[in-house]
Amino acid sequence: MRSSFLLLSFSVLLIGHTVFADVWPGYHNTQQRTGATPNYGPDCCSTACDVNIQLSLASPVIDGANQKVYMQGAVGPSGPWNLWCIDANDCSIRWTYVLSDSMPTNGLVMHSSCAIYGDSLIYVGNPADSSFYCIDSSGAYKWKYKTGDRIRPSPAVSSDGSVIYTMSDDGYLYAINSDSTLKWKTLTTASSGKYSSPTLSPDDSTIYVGSYNNKLYAIKADSGSIRWSYVTGDEVRTTPAIGIYTDTSTLITDTIIYVTSYTGRLYAIRQDGSLKWSRVLGGNANSSPALDVGRGIVYVGSDSTTNNRLNALNMSDGTIKWRMVLSGGPRYSSPAIASPNNLIYIGDASNTISIIANWVDSGVLVCKKTYDWPITSPVIGGDTSIWFNGYSYLHKIKCWASPNSIEEDKLNFKINSGRNWPNPFSKETRISLTLPENSFVNLDIYDITGKLVKTLSANYTAGQHSIIWDAKDNRGNKIKTGIYLCRLKTNSYAITRKITVIK
């Protein structure tokens, strides 16, 4: 294949992938819990390094500014129970903070992921002593707040860092001020067993959280009063994700909350509490949904005695785009999405991590790797890596070259600056390519912040072809003047270019 080539005609320079400072600062990355990032993820299954963290079903988070990874877990089978700070490059231990002298006596249950605020504060719930901790980035204790029961979900932090929200097994959602005082607490259910983490609306005004009394709650951030609750078909053990969907026919924009009930139904609920649609997944749902808003796809895992799957559904109406069978049920794992290279990562209870590519109407397994224990939710780093926990080890998978280095190695291409392919351009530009083989071709165009604005894709035969972009986004609107990143991928190759749009 090295003698094959892809000729891409753009009078632009090759650029590297963008690394964002926070990288992956909390459960499912954003406070809207989308599970997606504009960073590239790996397209290989090569283990870079491991850390022996015992008996934890927490998921890691990544502080990109300081190149640190945080997770809680035991030193050994009998403790102590630590907050771990790991070097994101080589997996060495930078420091540990002892949360408890012995491990929690909770059995095999989910444990709280951390939430990072800025590059200095780490918040985490400790299931061993039912307390919520604030630790600084040097490993120094700041404060703790004791709740009425163990804390298993992951916290959410307001955009200004003034309030932290966490659920406890006592059935309350707590709003804790950054000085460790209680702002308010709201009872969602009296039953035990809370896994749903709070999700913040984009304007910080509402917190959404699931409960064991078969409800999704919308709670006012200023007072803790309940705006509304929606009754689902069973317990809501997963964390809701918020996506903004625009109907291309009416151009009406909706803010939609996506959440699953335990019996395996995915709900799309409007911000006023009304149902947009729901869909049966065909198995239990312990996996929180992840959103590729640019492509309009929601991904969610489901498991049963016969079918363990990653499901890809249209965000607009819940129709199934495709399903992929997994090695085991994604009992402790929710999908993570690397938007630029269109890859999805998910673990399962058969101890396997899978890397899956989405090709519009099907999912293609890129690779998978099996470890010794069930896999928790993976997170995506800023260096073409993913991190995930396997109950006895924290693992890192990394491709040992950046996406652009991989492209340079595989492709023999030329940059054509001919007049027929203008750059900068105003009305339209033509992308010419020569394919060495039949292939599905996907062209994603991002703005400089990493937001997907346009996707052009089709199946092509081997030979010369042209793709025309009219400088409009996926909604048909003319895009703004500026620099855009064009990511073209075939079945075998990928390449990124920069292009400038002018009025």
Residue 114 has pLDDT above 80, yes or no: yes
Average pLDDT for residues 145-166, to the nearest whole number? 94
Say how far apart CA 367 and CA 222 lie, in whole Å: 46
Residue 413 has pLDDT above 70, yes or no: no
Per-residue confidence (pLDDT) for residue 385, from 0 to 100: 94
Average pLDDT for residues 158-175, to the nearest whole number? 95
Q: pLDDT tens digits, residue range 207-220?
A: 999 999 999 999 99
The answer to whether 110 and 117 are in contact (CB under 8 A) is: no
Per-residue confidence (pLDDT) for residue 175, from 0 to 100: 98
CB-CB neighbours of 443 under 10 Å: 17
Contacts 24+ apart (CB under 8 A), 275-278: 275/230, 277/317, 277/318, 278/318
Q: pLDDT tens digits, residue range 115-155?
A: 999 888 999 999 888 999 999 999 999 999 999 998 989 99
Q: pLDDT tens digits, residue range 319-351?
A: 999 999 999 989 889 999 998 888 999 999 999
Question: What does pLDDT average to over the chain?
Answer: 85
Per-residue confidence (pLDDT) for residue 107, from 0 to 100: 56
Q: Measuring CA to CA, which residue among 438, 404, 308, 451 is closest to residue 20?
A: 451
| Cis upstream peptide for 340 (omega within 30°) | no
23-401 — its CATH code? 2.130.10.10
Residue 415 has pLDDT above 80, yes or no: no
| Cis upstream peptide for 80 (omega within 30°) | yes
404-501 — its CATH code? 2.60.40.4070
> What are the Cα distances from residue 272, in Å, to 12, 227, 247, 316, 344?
46, 9, 17, 17, 30
Give domain limits for the chain: 23-401, 404-501
Q: Measuring CA to CA, which residue among 309, 327, 333, 399 is closest to residue 370?
A: 327
The answer to whether 301 and 333 are in contact (CB under 8 A) is: yes
Say how far apart CA 483 and CA 154 lie, in whole Å: 36
Q: pLDDT tens digits, residue range 268-306?
A: 999 999 999 999 998 888 899 999 988 889 999 999 877
DSSP-derived letter for residue 423 is: S
pLDDT > 90: percent of the chain: 53
Question: Which residue blocks in 192-350 are alpha helix, DSSP H?
Answer: none
In this structure, are strands 36-37 and 336-338 parallel, antiparallel, or unpaired? parallel
pLDDT > 70: percent of the chain: 86
Q: pLDDT tens digits, residue range 47-96?
A: 999 999 988 889 999 998 889 999 999 998 777 999 999 999 999 999 99
